[in-house]
């Protein structure tokens, strides 16, 4: 299998920098996630995972919306009486937005360019980093539909947001903006709309300067220790750090030591200091 030229509900392109842009592409429906969008994302993310030219994956939306959540017509109403179709699309949703995204070895960034509602909180939470338009509108609107934040949304919001905020926004269904999303740990950086893309590219480039295998191991380590106690975390991290040295064929650690201790050409503690070649 390989990336297809065309997907019905998502546009995917890998630029010269190595940024893979996956853009939800149903702007006329505010990128509401229908079954086909889930099938497209499932295929795309699996392919990007093994595509060497894709160094960082960015998820964004076409038009004025990141995603208006699950498609109330196609994902819910039209499958209510079709258990087979419902099972397939629900599993595709879980597969890409939970299993594949949260286990990706590549850095993933959500670039939130507008509306973000309901079920879209799951892929948001499972991206490693989030850059948001400061005026993007977020909403846990499920209560307004007479449902609960299901499809694992309740779990991801209590994991990510302060509990009291999660309760407030889930019970009221009130919206909040990108600045507030940063305040509540749902996003990392909020910028004006006209700076969103440049900020995302700068962040992606910063990540591309790191060792890819060290980044992958860092992501795995942080995600794994969340569910461990302290003794388990020590044990796991000791093993993981040894495994990293084995996996890092570029010997980044040894090179860093040599540059810092012997050649004195590199000071990582001072931030993004350009390395001498």
Q: Which residue is nearest to ligand ACO (CB)?
A: 118
The yes or no reply on residue 133 touching ligand ACO (CB under 6 A) is no
d(CA 1, CA 205): 28
Find the binding residues for ligand ACO in span 2-31 (CB under 6 A). 29-30
The yes or no reply on residue 126 touching ligand ACO (CB under 6 A) is no
Q: Least Å distance between CB 220 and ligand ACO?
A: 29
The answer to whether the CB of 22 falls within 8 A of the CB of 44 is yes
R_g of the chain computed on alpha carbons = 20
d(CA 179, CA 170): 18
The yes or no reply on residue 61 touching ligand ACO (CB under 6 A) is no
User: Given the complex with ligand ACO, which of 32 and 156 has the nearer CB atom?
Assistant: 32
Find the binding residues for ligand ACO in span 234-263 (CB under 6 A). none
The residue count for binding ligand ACO (CB under 6 A) is 17
x/- mask, ligand ACO, residues 72-111, rule CB under 6 A, reads: xx--------------------------------------
Taking CA atoms, 251 is separated from 56, 159, 246, in Å, by 21, 35, 9
Q: Which of 68, 125, 136, 203 touches ligand ACO (CB under 6 A)? A: 68
Residues in contact with ligand ACO by CB under 6 A are 29-30, 32, 65, 68-73, 115, 117-119, 141-142, 145
């Amino acid at each position: 299998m390989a990336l297809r030229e065309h997907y019905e509900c998502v546009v995917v392109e890998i630029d010269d920098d190595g940024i893979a842009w996956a853009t939800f592409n149903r702007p006329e429906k505010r990128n509401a996630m229908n079954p086909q969008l889930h099938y497209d994302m499932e295929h795309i993310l699996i392919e990007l995972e093994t595509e060497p030219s894709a160094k960082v994956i960015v998820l964004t939306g076409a038009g004025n919306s990141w995603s208006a959540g699950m498609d109330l017509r196609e994902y819910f109403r039209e499958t209510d009486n079709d258990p087979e179709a419902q099972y397939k699309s629900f599993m595709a949703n879980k597969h890409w937005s939970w299993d594949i995204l949260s286990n990706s070895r590549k850095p993933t960034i959500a670039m939130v360019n507008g509306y973000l509602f309901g079920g879209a909180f799951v892929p948001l939470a499972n991206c490693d980093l989030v850059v948001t338009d400061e005026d993007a509108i977020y909403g846990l609107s499920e209560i307004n539909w007479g449902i609960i934040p299901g499809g694992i949304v309740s779990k991801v919001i209590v994991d990510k947001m302060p509990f009291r905020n999660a309760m407030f926004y889930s019970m009221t269904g009130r919206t909040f903006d990108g600045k507030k999303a940063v305040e509540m740990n749902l996003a990392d950086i909020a910028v004006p709309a006209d700076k969103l893309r440049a900020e995302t590219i700068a962040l992606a480039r910063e990540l591309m300067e790191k060792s890819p295998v060290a980044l992958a191991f860092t992501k795995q380590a942080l995600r794994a220790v969340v569910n461990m106690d302290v003794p388990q975390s020590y044990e796991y991290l000791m093993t993981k750090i040894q495994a990293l040295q084995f996996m890092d064929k570029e010997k980044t650690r040894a090179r860093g030591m040599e540059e810092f201790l012997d050649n004195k050409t590199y000071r990582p503690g001072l931030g993004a200091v350009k390395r001498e070649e």
